């Protein structure tokens, strides 16, 4: 059984497609295409399949146990995590810190902090 990527053969689908094609079977200018934010159905169903298998295999607890089982599993996990993170994230973090003064005693006692809770 092979993979058939042809659309279902029904009159409505053909009519909708023909509305967007010109005489030479090319898309007309101004074709709306896929709406913004629309999800690819194949990708969506594959993601759901993986989520279902993940839940059936024990969910988060089983995954954490697997990850902790060996260094190789841990490396695989962090490799996957790295691939899922956005490539270019720029954050402008602004935070002001209080100056910290550390006084070192010459007698070898623990250093004290001048700014500790008053």
93: left (phi over 0), alpha (psi -120 to 50) or beta: beta
CA distances from 104 to 107, 113, 118 (A): 9, 9, 20
Would 3 be classed as within a structural domain?
no
Would 114 be classed as within a structural domain?
no
* Number of separate domains in the chain: 1
Would 97 be classed as within a structural domain?
no
Would 95 be classed as within a structural domain?
no
Q: 78 and 71 in contact (C-beta within 8 Å)? A: no
Would 1 be classed as within a structural domain?
no
Range of the domain at 72: 11-84
Residue 103 pLDDT > 80: no
Q: 105 and 111 in contact (C-beta within 8 Å)? A: yes
CA distances from 19 to 1, 14, 59, 68 (A): 33, 9, 46, 56
Give residue 108's pLDDT. Answer: 61
Residue 15 has phi, psi (to 5 degrees) of -65, -45
**Has this prediction a pTM greater than 0.85?**
no
pLDDT single digits (tens) 61-84: 999 999 999 999 999 998 988 888
């Amino acid at each position: 059984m092979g993979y058939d990527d042809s659309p279902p053969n029904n009159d409505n689908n053909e009519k909708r497609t023909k509305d967007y094609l010109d005489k030479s079977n090319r898309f007309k200018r101004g074709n709306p295409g896929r709406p913004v934010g629309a999800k690819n159905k194949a990708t969506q169903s594959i993601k759901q399949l993986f989520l279902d298998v993940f839940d059936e295999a024990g969910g988060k607890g089983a995954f954490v146990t697997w990850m902790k089982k060996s260094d190789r599993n841990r490396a695989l996990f962090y490799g996957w995590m790295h691939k899922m993170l956005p490539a270019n994230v720029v954050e402008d973090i602004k935070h002001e810190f209080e100056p910290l003064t550390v006084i070192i005693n010459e007698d070898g006692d623990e250093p004290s902090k001048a700014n500790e809770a008053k």
